[in-house]
Amino acid sequence: MLLSAQEWGVVALSAKVSGVAILGVLPIAFALAWALARGRFRGRLVLDAVVHLPLVLPPVVIGWMLLVAFAPAGPVGGWLWRTLGVTLLFRWTGAALAAAIMALPLMVRAIRLSLEAVDPRLEQAARTLGAGPWATFRQVTLPLCAPGMLAGAVLGFARSLGEFGATITFVSNIPGETQTLPLAIYAALQVPGGEATVWRLAVVAVVLSLLALVGSEWLARRQGGVGLQGGGGAHVL
Amino acid sequence: MLLSAQEWGVVALSAKVSGVAILGVLPIAFALAWALARGRFRGRLVLDAVVHLPLVLPPVVIGWMLLVAFAPAGPVGGWLWRTLGVTLLFRWTGAALAAAIMALPLMVRAIRLSLEAVDPRLEQAARTLGAGPWATFRQVTLPLCAPGMLAGAVLGFARSLGEFGATITFVSNIPGETQTLPLAIYAALQVPGGEATVWRLAVVAVVLSLLALVGSEWLARRQGGVGLQGGGGAHVL
Amino acid sequence: MSFDIDIVLARGGREFAVRVAGGPGITALVGPSGQGKTSTLDAVAGLLRPRSGRIAVDGAVLFDAAGGIDLPPQVRAAGYVFQDLRLFPHLSVRDNLLFGWRHAPAERRTLTLEEVTGFLDITPLLGRRPHTLSGGEAQRVAIGRALLSAPRFLLMDEPLTALDPARREGVIALIARIRDAFALPVLLVSHQQQDVARLADAVVEI
Amino acid sequence: MSFDIDIVLARGGREFAVRVAGGPGITALVGPSGQGKTSTLDAVAGLLRPRSGRIAVDGAVLFDAAGGIDLPPQVRAAGYVFQDLRLFPHLSVRDNLLFGWRHAPAERRTLTLEEVTGFLDITPLLGRRPHTLSGGEAQRVAIGRALLSAPRFLLMDEPLTALDPARREGVIALIARIRDAFALPVLLVSHQQQDVARLADAVVEI
Amino acid sequence: AAQGLGKGPLVLAAASLQEAMNAAADRWSALGHARPVVSFAASSALARQIEAHAPADLFVSADEDWMDDVAHAGLLAPRTRARLVTNALVIVAPAGSALRLYPAPGFPLARALGGGKLAMGDPDAVPAGRYGKAALERLAVWSQVQGQVARAENVRAALALVAHGAAPLGIVYATDARAEPGVRVVGVFPAGSHAPITYPLARLASSTHPDAEGFRRFLLSGQGKAIFRRFGFVAH
Ligand SMILES: Nc1ncnc2c1ncn2[C@@H]1O[C@H](COP(=O)(O)OP(=O)(O)OP(=O)(O)O)[C@@H](O)[C@H]1O
Ligand SMILES: Nc1ncnc2c1ncn2[C@@H]1O[C@H](COP(=O)(O)OP(=O)(O)OP(=O)(O)O)[C@@H](O)[C@H]1O
Ligand SMILES: [Mg+2]
Ligand SMILES: [Mg+2]
């Protein structure tokens, strides 16, 4: 299957946007999952609902909210512009932000599921062995959550690759800057007889996600199924 | 916040479509999660990729594929029509199908994550206690997966509520039949000055998903944290 | 002969040849740590398929590599007290205890929940979840669950380790009673020489 | 006095008043199942906050409800062998053993990995994951992990239950040696009267 | 503002103009200019981006309403708004159809549908749908077919519904029907049956690209309009 140079550019941009989005949002997703799984504060349910927002609302609405917030005159956009001289509007960074936000709920849920399965007795054991809360988190909790983080990252990456509505609404459809695969597919759909291009680009998207899947399986295997499987999530005996 | 009678109809339809979609797809998602978590067949990775498709491809493309497949002249649609006299086109059932397909990957991942955390030693114990494979599945594996099923159902429900692209492409936007919340929101967004309606409907969508969240938290609590937490996913001692 | 075992097991890259020819009653399986005692019990229960050989209990063949026989675990009806207990975390103590009982055919049920919980002193725990039990409490629940499953024979992997002396006496008496009353063959793994001496009708070194 | 404990514990809706005034050396904590032995060890390790009272080890106050003192577990430096072992499933045996060692200040490290694995006979297991260990193997790894964590005192909750007689001897000798060589106070929970008799310098009934 | 993107001026254009606008951009660059960067999306999305002060140079809307909206916000460069092209509205059927319709007051659209769906852009949202509804109202057939309308997200989606046999008839722009092999035009709405379907063009107040005005004029020139005519648009 041959792609034109311009199409390769689209693929590279998509991979960049999705990759940056997932890597950037992973720590945030983890922090949110942590708060939802372990926190016992008031407003937990509200936070949970907010995290789900990007799923519940049509992407176009999310894109529009981003546009309003990040416009030069908007609350966040204005601040970013004044303090850092940066704008996300019509930029690939904005596309990454949109992708990250759309992927966030999926990642939070997956990580939270793993986090809730971590046996607190193992964390206690780490504490008696001289590890403070932070070391316990890094050396016990985090690795035991690896399956959820990996699942979340794969899910989020796939979701980012397919993100369309929020992206086109927020950062428009600018070739070379914000035209990711779904936007290119949309463009092809607008042209009579564009179906062949649609198929070609769709296959590329699928191949990209397949690569991510293979990578994640490889990572999972390398960790030797830290998973809870076998290890029992707990302790031997 | 007051809604018009017509808007209430949209809300009821959205709830129906999402509810039916999730309940209908849950067993399928479970079966797929099972195959991916436990199966060791060739083509596992391909199946995994296929399950992720609805995430990776822009929703419009999925809707378009559904249209091609379920059109009266299409392979599935033609068969359905000839044998059962049923068509999904322009029907709320078609909207539910689109929602189910879009929710599928999220549900499969969540369930799979839980399934992989089930300690096989507990299943072995059930076998020695006289439970056959099916009884073991129903009485041990399934309840131990409850957190993942619940998380998957909530995630899927939220995703269904927000589903737009595939739905409008597949079953179009027919008030009273296929016009779910996102479609109504989209319509409002297209008209200059429609922002107030957008906000009102968005709030309704959020409230609906909040109800689902509260319900899931309540269910989770009622099960007394079957979760792996504490129970260690394994065995006491 | 109650237990008639002659198998080769493979676990973790090592092979263990195990031969047990127990008389009637309680057969103790002793030997150093890591020599395949638990693996043997797993094989008898149907959880670990031997490389080769034959397993029969009370004349019934459970496994025979040559004859192509390999009964599934739920048919073998072992009352297995696991070394790692394996209580079901999602079930109350009561439902743990009744798990096997509910799967057993009514005519084979010889003990009642009340008898077993009374003997094992766990009646007050019935409503609890396993993760709230102390070590000795959990061990007694695991014993009770195996006894209530209407087993054809018992596999007990160090079932007394977490029990205080008084309760240990009680459980030992209970096991002896069950062996005598129902003629149930028992394969017992234990590192405690005095327990072995008091209970075992035959001792097999592994 | 090595252990100076006078606390009220609350667990599962019940209250336990515990009083331990151990002499130097090994203090055995004995008593019926479910009476709060493990809970007491948890309190000394800093994992369970007592309702009230005071805990001091070797004169250092770890907890004092009245004085508002409650040292976090990682500062108390207990070498805790858990009744349920709690090996880290994601780490190899080697990394399990070195987990506490790596967190210990260099000057407090008195034993080496080689010494401990040699004594406990677990050197061949270093590359394995915990879920592949037999019961006795896992228990020895848990003991080794506690010993290597450069503890100020040891809390051992039935540390010998899964060990065969020969290894039991070895571990008993090792514990006695450590007590003597490093003047380490040990709080030992055991249901085995002969172990208590051989090891304990003082016995506390709970 | 748009120079940051590297090349020519940034043009925000309605998605239905894609082919023609790309051809125009190619021609312009063949004339020795940096090729304009064109972002195609729904007019509503583009108008909102402009209203959020996104930095762009030209805006081509698929209807006057969104251009009005932007104009009211004071975001157009003075005296740069102009009508680029117009379009016609047609009725299409699957390619195999032998039907022939003459949209006139009371024409037998309901009978031609025979219980099937009439695919068109959402009359409440999509410009093509609004024009279609207006035309059917003017011809007094809207009330008969109203219940059979399948509202699509955009014209292309309506076209796909007809091309795949999901709907026996659809109302789309002439330009869309032209190149789709799956459909046949079976009727053309008379120009008087709906408001003119116009694509207004304007330069934005925030435009800073030196080529922006040049490209705008090129589009409106005879040479530019000829390109659009090639793709079925009407331009005088
Ligand atoms: N999953 C596994 N992978 C690798 N090795 C294993 C696995 N399970 C068990 N083993 C090894 O097999 C050997 C036999 O184990 P088994 O549990 O049968 O010993 P055991 O006689 O019951 O010992 P113990 O008295 O310590 O419980 C041990 O050396 C153990 O390390
Ligand atoms: N999480 C919990 N919820 C409720 N009850 C608990 C919980 N943990 C422990 N208990 C109860 O507290 C009591 C004391 O438990 P503990 O583990 O300290 O006993 P123990 O003396 O160590 O017993 P054993 O010798 O059986 O190990 C027990 O009756 C136990 O059932
Ligand atoms: Mg064993
Ligand atoms: Mg205890």
pLDDT in tens, A139-162: 999 999 999 999 999 999 999 999
Interface check for D134 against chain C (CB to CB < 8 A): the answer is yes
Q: Which of E47, E7, E38, E8 is nearest to E204 (CA)?
A: E47
D161–chain B Cβ distance below 8 A for any pair: no
Question: What is the rounded distance in angstroms from the CA atom of residue A151 to the CA atom of residue B112?
Answer: 9
Query: How is chain B split into domains, by residue range?
Result: 5-225
d(CA D195, CA B143): 42
Distance CA C159, CA C175 (A): 11
Nearest atom, ligand 1, residue D133 CA: 31
pLDDT in tens, E56-106: 999 999 989 999 999 999 999 999 999 999 999 999 999 989 999 999 999
Q: Does A130 contact D103 at a Cβ distance shorter than 8 Å?
A: yes
Residue B67 has pLDDT above 50, yes or no: yes
Q: What percent of chain E has pLDDT over 90?
A: 76
Sheet containing strand D3-11, edge to edge, reads D14-21, D3-11, D52-57, D60-64, D69-70
Query: Of A118-127, B91-100, C189-198, where does mean pLDDT reach its minimum?
Result: C189-198
Residue C123 is encoded by which pair of tokens? 């009646």
C-alpha distances (whole Å) from E193 to each of A115, D116, E175 are 63, 95, 18
Q: How many Cα atoms occupy the beta-carbon half-sphere of A138 within 13 Å?
A: 5
Q: Say if CB D132 and CB D160 are below 8 A apart.
A: no
Q: How far apart are the first and last CA of chain E?
A: 32
C-alpha to C-alpha distance for E66 and C135, rounded to whole angstroms? 73
Q: What is the pLDDT of residues E160-184, one digit of tens each?
A: 899 888 899 999 999 988 878 889 9
Cα separation of D161 and D143, whole Å?
12
More confident residue, A28 or E115: A28
E223-232 own/partner pairs: CB under 8 Å, 24+ apart = E223/E27, E224/E24, E224/E27, E225/E84, E225/E85, E227/E20, E227/E23, E227/E24, E227/E27, E228/E20, E228/E24, E228/E84, E228/E85, E230/E20, E230/E23, E231/E19, E231/E20, E231/E23, E231/E175, E231/E178, E232/E87, E232/E174, E232/E175, E232/E178
Question: What pLDDT shows up at residue A217?
Answer: 84
- Pick the residue from chain E with its C-alpha nearest to B183: E153
The pLDDT, as a whole number, for residue E50 is 93
Whose tokens are 């006095």? That residue is D1
Contact: chain C with chain D (3+ CB pairs below 8 Å): yes
Q: Do C161 and D158 touch (CB under 8 A)?
A: yes
Helix (H) or strand (E) holding E21: helix E18-30
User: What is the CATH superfamily name and number for domain B5-225?
Assistant: MetI-like (1.10.3720.10)
CA distance D187 to D10: 20
Whole-number pLDDT of residue D127: 96
Dist. CA C15 → ligand 1 center (Å): 11
Asked whether residue B231 carries a pLDDT value surpassing 70, the answer given is: no
Q: Distance between CA atoms of D160 and D170, rounded to whole angstroms?
A: 10
Half-sphere exposure of E68 (CA within 13 A, CB side): 7
B90 close to E (CB below 8 A): yes
Q: Which ligand minimizes its atom distance to the CA of D164? A: 1
- The pLDDT-based confidence of D179 (bands split at 50, 70, 90) is confident
Q: Where are the alpha helices (DSSP H) in B141-223?
A: 142-144, 146-162, 165-171, 181-190, 195-222
- Cross-strand pairs, D101: none
Average pLDDT, chain D: 94
- Pick the atom of ligand 1 nearest to D139's CA: 26
Contact between residue B172 and residue E150 where contact means Cβ atoms under 8 Å apart? yes
Q: Does the CB of E163 have a partner CB in chain B at under 8 Å?
A: no
Q: Do A147 and B117 touch (CB under 8 A)?
A: yes
Order of strands across the sheet with E169-173? E149-152, E118-121, E169-173, E89-94, E183-188
pLDDT at A121 over 90: yes
Taking CA atoms only, the protein residue closest to ligand 2 atom 5 is D12
Residue B152 — very low, low, confident or very high, per pLDDT cuts 50/70/90? very high
C-alpha C143 – ligand 3 centre gap (Å): 16
pLDDT higher than threshold 60 for residue A230: no
pLDDT at position B233: 28
For residue B107, what are the contacts with CB-CB under 8 A and spacing of at least 6? B22, B25, B26, B29, B33, B152, B153, B155, B156
DSSP character at residue E148: G
Q: Is the pLDDT of residue A58 over 70?
A: yes
- Residue E46: count of CB within 10 angstroms of its CB: 29
In degrees rounded to 5, what are phi and psi of residue C137?
Answer: -65, -45
Chain D interface includes A232 (CB < 8 A)? yes
Contact B206, A57 (CB under 8 A): yes
Structure-block tokens of residue C70: 């390999």
Instruction: Work out the number of other CB atoms within 10 angstroms of the CB of residue B5.
Output: 6
Who's near D17: CB < 8 A, 6+ residues apart? Answer: D7, D8, D9
Give pLDDT tens digits for A191-208.
777 788 888 999 999 999
Q: Nearest CA to E149 among E121, E118, E172, E125?
A: E118
Q: Of E52, E51, E62, E54, which is closest to residue E13 (Cα–Cα)? A: E62
d(CA C88, nearest CA chain B) in Å: 6
pLDDT at A231: 33
- Strand C202-205 to strand D52-57: parallel, antiparallel, or no bridges (unpaired)? unpaired
Q: Is C161 in the pocket of ligand 1 (CB under 6 A)?
A: no
Of A67, A168, A190, the CB nearest to E18: A190
**Residue C133 CA: which ligand 2 atom is closest?**
31
Pairing of strands C26-30, C186-189: parallel
* Residues in Cβ contact with B195 at an 8 Å cutoff, skipping those fewer than 6 apart: B188, B189
Q: Does E185 touch chain A (CB under 8 A)?
A: no
What pLDDT score was predicted for residue A224? 59
C82 lines ligand 1 (CB under 6 A): no
φ, ψ dihedrals at D189, nearest 5°: -100, 130
What pLDDT sits at residue B224? 59
Q: Which amino acid belongs to residue E92?
A: V
Q: Which residue in A has a C-alpha nearest to residue E178's C-alpha?
A: A192
Does residue A27 sit in helix, strand or coil? Answer: helix
* CB-side neighbour CA atoms (13 Å) of C9: 24
Note the pLDDT of residue C1.
Answer: 63
**Is residue E15 exposed (0-12), middle (13-18) or buried (19+ Cβ within 10 Å)?**
buried
Q: Which residues of chain C have pLDDT under 50?
A: none
User: Residue range B91-115: average pLDDT?
Assistant: 96
Q: Where are the beta strands (DSSP E) in chain E?
A: 10-14, 37-41, 58-60, 82-87, 89-94, 118-121, 149-152, 169-173, 183-188, 197-203
- Which amino acid would we find at residue D176? A
Q: What residue type is D180 in one-letter code?
A: D
pLDDT band at B232 (very low <50, low <70, confident <90, very high): very low
**What residues pair up with E94 in beta bridges, in sequence order?**
E183
Residue B235 CA to residue B119 CA, distance in Å, equals 9
Ligand 3: centre distance to CA A129 (Å)? 26
pLDDT at residue E233 tops 90: yes
Q: How do strand C202-205 and strand C26-30 relate by DSSP bridges?
A: parallel
State what percent of residues in chain A have pLDDT above 90: 67
Ligand 3 ion: nearby residues, β-carbon < 5 Å: C 38, 83; D 134-135
Closest Cα in chain A to B151: A109
- For the segment B190-228, what is each residue's pLDDT rounded down to a tens digit? 888 888 888 999 999 999 888 988 888 888 887 755 443
Buried b (16+ CB within 10 A) or exposed e, C101-115: bebbeeeeeebeeee
Return left, alpha or beta for D115; rule: phi > 0 is left, psi -120 to 50 is alpha, else beta. alpha
Q: Using DSSP, state whether E172 is helix, strand or coil.
A: strand
Select from D206, D198, B164, E131 the least CA-distant residue to A59: B164
Residue positions counted in chain D: 206
Phi, psi of E143 (to 5 degrees): -65, -30
| Nearest chain C alpha carbon to B133 | C74
Residue A110 has pLDDT above 50, yes or no: yes
Task: Please tell me the distance between residue D123's alpha carbon and the centre of ligand 3 in angstroms.
Answer: 19
The answer to whether the beta carbons of residues D79 and D155 sit under 8 Å apart is: yes
Q: Could you tell me the pLDDT band of residue B1, with boundaries at 50, 70 and 90?
A: low
Residue D82 pLDDT greater than 80, yes or no: yes
Q: What DSSP string describes B47-113?
A: HHHHHHHHHHS-HHHHHHHHHHHHSTTSHHHHHHHHHH----TTSHHHHHHHHHHHHHHHHHHHHHH
* Residue A164 and residue B55 in contact, taking contact as beta carbons nearer than 8 Å: no
List CB contacts (< 8 A) between B228 and chain A.
116-119, 228, 233
Percentage of chain D surpassing pLDDT 70?
Answer: 100
Rounded to 5 degrees, φ, ψ at A223 are -75, -5
Q: Which residues of A touch B209 (CB under 8 A)?
A: 49, 52, 55-56
Cα-based distances in Å from C191 to A16, B237, C206, D159, D178: 61, 18, 12, 13, 24
Per CB-CB distance under 8 Å, the chain A contacts of D130 are 231, 235-236
CA D206 and chain centroid, separation: 17
Task: For residue B29, give how far its alpha carbon lies from the nearest alpha carbon of chain C (Å).
Answer: 22
- Alpha-carbon distance of B94 to B117, in angstroms, equals 35
Tell me how many residue pairs between chain A and chain C have CB atoms under 8 A apart.
3
Q: What is the pLDDT of residues E13-59, one digit of tens each?
A: 999 899 999 999 999 999 999 999 999 999 989 999 999 888 899 99
